Copies of this chain bind each other. A is one copy, B any other.
Amino acid sequence: MIENIENLKEILRAKNIRLSHQRLKVLEYLAQNKTHPSVDEIYSELQKSIPSLSRTTIYNTLHMLKEAGLVNVLTIGDSEARYEIIAENHGHFKCTSCENIFDFSLSVEEIESSDLADFDIKERDVYFRGLCPDCLESDRKDSEK
Q: Which residues of A contact B (CB under 8 A)?
A: 73, 75-78, 81, 91, 93, 96, 102-106, 110-111, 113-116, 118-133, 136
Q: Which residues on B sit within 8 Å (CB–CB) of A110?
A: 111
Q: Which residues on B sit within 8 Å (CB–CB) of A130?
A: 119-123
Contact A115 B124 (CB under 8 A): no
Count of chain copies: 2
Report the bound CA distance from A63 to B30 in whole Å. 33
Closest 5 CB pairs of A and B: A104-B115, A122-B130, A118-B133, A120-B131, A123-B129
Contact A121 B93 (CB under 8 A): yes
Most buried by B among A73, A81, A122: A122
Contact A116 B93 (CB under 8 A): yes
Report the bound CA distance from A96 to B66 in whole Å. 14
